[in-house]
Amino acid sequence: MSYVGIVLISHSPKIVEGTKDLIRQVIKEVPIEIAGGTDDGAIGTNVEMVQQAIERANDGEGVSVFYDIGSAKMNAEMAIEMIGEEDVKLMGAPLVEGSYVAAVESGMGKDVQRITAALANEFG
């Protein structure tokens, strides 16, 4: 079975690593990829890392992309535009809570549109 993938983007590698660990306590089968920090491990974001994470997370069902602040959103938008996939959605929900809910929804077999609607309902 294929699932909607999850991408976690943060200026801090520790934030996305911890969030992924939290989700993995409950959801094991959903693809989750992270893009945290810069190439040299510093605080920041990198559009190429984001693009690669999205590509790894997408097993054909689309990807829900979550971010923390500022340039993480900008880099996510650029990466999504470069990839050009309709089923890659940037989510405005909180990074930790939103990605957790999205992973649960994906694990239940919901498509990216239904996950987006569930997040809009939950987080406004």
**Can you state the percent helix, strand and coil of the chain, rounding each to 5?**
50, 15, 35
Angstrom distances, CA of residue 58 to CA of 23, 33, 103: 18, 10, 13
Q: Is 11 a catalytic residue?
A: yes
Token readout for 105 is 């929804």
Which CA distances in Å does 27 have to 44, 48, 113? 28, 27, 20
CA atoms within 13 A on the CB side of 26: 13
- Catalytic residue, chosen from 5, 7, 10, 11, is 11
> Which residues are identified as catalytic?
11
